Amino acid sequence: MSMNSTRRKLAIATWSAPSAGNIYGKLTLDAEPALKYIAEVREKTGERVTITHFVGKAVAMALAATPGLNGRIRWSRFIPHDTVDIAFLVVLEGGADLAKAKVTELDKKPLSAVGQELRELAEKLREGKDKEFESSKSLLKLLPQFLIGPILWLTGFLTGSLGISAAGLTKFPFGSAVITSVGMFGLDEGFAPFTPFARVPLLVLVGAYTDRPTVVDGAVAIQKQVTLTATIDHRFIDGSAGGKLANTIRGVFADPWSTMGPADGTPKQLPAPE
């Protein structure tokens, strides 16, 4: 993070000492079925999907199966979202800055479509063609430090809690969860605090997949594994619902073809009615 980047200015202005009740979780998973599925998607569609796209899709499916986490808190009441939308953090300027790219209804889209949409959004951000991001960045550079925190809190409340979309604001700009990769920086795993103004209940970090010894069918074997870490807002779910979230993700990693559907992006076949 550079000394005077927008990212550093945001961090200083908005974060304070932790006081909220959060749950921290960690999953270390066999990455080999996911990597085979990703390779097949690349071969059949030509879209360069990655493990981060795969995790985003798995998280979206898990949120669809755990509706108590897919929503926001308004006036001390939980309000469910109508769709499962996921925001991915995009690295800009060689890591000096970050932006978000939100994919809507991600649970319903094939992995290749997720990859294409996120690629187009990231290219738009990196080329300076995202009007909303460029406008907000210009405003932040002009604002004095002491005003950034209150303004972002108000903006987050209006868009993230009330769902207001007006005057250049986008409702629910971060969706229901934020996905970011620390594996691209060579880290096996890591935890992160919530971005205060994002107002999402779930933050997932994707570590690097590495060869690790593990027990398979009673024998030690070398297996490619990936570690996912999560920060979860305790106001939304407890351990039971968190377990369901984790088990859904485990199931997707274990058999992507059955859970996500064919790698070529054709719709998943539903069982015939009896």
| CATH code assigned at 175 | 3.30.559.10
More confident residue, 51 or 164: 51
Query: Is 224 a domain residue?
Result: yes
pTM (predicted TM-score): 0.88
Q: Using one digit for the tens of pLDDT, what is the confidence trace for 7-63? A: 656 665 665 655 666 888 899 999 999 999 999 999 999 999 999 999 999 999 999
Using CA atoms, how far residue 217 sits from 1, 135, 155, 220, 251, in Å, is 45, 55, 53, 8, 18
Phi, psi of 214 (to 5 degrees): -150, 170
Closest CA to 142 of 154, 151, 132, 131: 151
What is the domain range of residue 243? Answer: 21-256
pLDDT tens-digit series, residues 186-242: 889 999 888 888 889 899 999 998 988 887 778 888 989 999 999 988 888 777 778
Cα distance between residue 31 and residue 214, in whole Å: 12
Q: Would you place residue 1 in the very low, low, confident or very high pLDDT band (cuts 50, 70, 90)?
A: very low
Q: Tell me whether residue 49 is in a domain.
A: yes
Question: Sorting pLDDT into bands at 50, 70 and 90, what band is 248?
Answer: very high
Residue 211 lies in a domain: yes
Residue 64 has pLDDT above 90, yes or no: yes
Cβ–Cβ under 8 Å, residues 189 and 26: yes
Answer yes or no: is 164 within a domain: yes
Q: Tell me whether residue 1 is in a domain.
A: no
Residue 261 lies in a domain: no
Query: How many domains would you assign to the chain?
Result: 1
Return the biggest CA–CA distance within the chain: 65
- The answer to whether the CB of 246 falls within 8 A of the CB of 240 is no
Residue 40 contacts residue 174 (beta carbons within 8 Å): no
Question: At 161, is the pLDDT very low, low, confident or very high (cuts 50, 70, 90)?
Answer: confident
Torsions phi, psi of 207, nearest 5? -85, 175
Q: Is residue 15 part of a domain?
A: no
Q: Is residue 47 part of a domain?
A: yes
